[in-house]
Every structure is written in structure tokens, then in C-alpha cells.
């Protein structure tokens, strides 16, 4: 019978809820995101973890925040590289289309 109670508790803890946030709060939370697919739940749990660590070891929490900052910088740089690569590919694709169109025109002339 105690197994059933444990199962029920686990189910209750995994219930998904909705919370209301101001847009500013949402943006501040997103600044702690380490990767694109990190959920808000993950971010909030991280915040709570850091707050608990601050009480016992402020230096350790500072290192955690510095690591998050470094990961965010890397994520931003990678996004910028991907955008630049995509823009280059699009430009190359456009110039190839133009080349093909010019070849067709030349073939039609001959």
C-alpha cells in the first residue's frame, strides 16, 4: 500500500501548471538560459539552486553564474555564426540562380 502512496506523490509533483509573469520577468529568466531548449522549469530550478548555494558558499554561486554567462556568450556567438552561414548560403543560392538564368538566356540566343 505504501507503494501506491509513493506513486501518487510522484504524479502530483510532476503536474504541469501555468504561472503568470511580466514580460520583463520572462526576459530576465531567459537571460539565465544556457541552451535553446532549456525549459523555464529548468531555469527556475537552477535559480533556486543558486539561491541555496549562495547561503552556504557565495563564492561557488558566483562561479556558477560566471559559467552560465560564459555559456550564454557561446550560445549567442554560435547563433550569430549560424545566421551568417545561412545568409551566405542564401546569397550563394541567389547567385547560382542568376548564373543558371543567364545560361538559359545564352542558350536561347544560340
Residue 3 maps to a domain: no
The C-alpha cell that represents 12 in the structure block? 502530483
Residue 91 maps to a domain: yes
Range of the domain at 37: 28-109
Residue 90 maps to a domain: yes
Residue 69 maps to a domain: yes
- Considering its fold, how many domains does the chain have in total? 1
pTM here is 0.56
What does the DSSP assignment read for the chain?
-HHHHHHHHHHHHT--------HHHHHHHHTT-SSTT--HHHHHHHHHHHHHHHHH-HHHHHHHHHHHHHHHHHHHHHHHHHHHHHHHHHHHHHHHHHHHHHHHHHHHH-
How many other C-beta atoms can be found within 10 angstroms of the C-beta atom of residue 31?
A: 10
Tens digit of pLDDT for each residue in 24-71? 999 999 888 888 889 999 999 999 999 999 999 999 999 998 998 898
Amino acid at each position: 500500500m505504501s507503494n501506491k502512496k509513493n506513486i501518487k506523490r510522484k504524479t502530483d509533483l510532476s503536474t504541469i501548471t501555468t504561472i503568470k509573469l511580466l514580460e520583463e520577468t520572462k526576459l530576465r529568466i531567459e537571460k539565465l538560459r544556457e541552451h535553446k531548449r532549456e525549459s523555464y522549469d529548468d531555469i527556475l530550478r537552477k535559480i533556486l539552486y543558486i539561491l541555496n548555494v549562495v547561503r552556504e558558499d557565495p563564492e561557488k554561486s558566483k562561479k556558477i553564474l560566471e559559467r552560465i554567462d560564459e555559456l550564454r556568450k557561446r550560445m549567442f556567438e554560435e547563433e550569430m555564426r549560424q545566421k551568417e552561414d545561412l545568409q551566405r548560403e542564401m546569397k550563394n543560392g541567389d547567385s547560382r540562380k542568376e548564373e543558371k538564368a543567364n545560361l538559359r538566356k545564352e542558350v536561347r540566343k544560340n
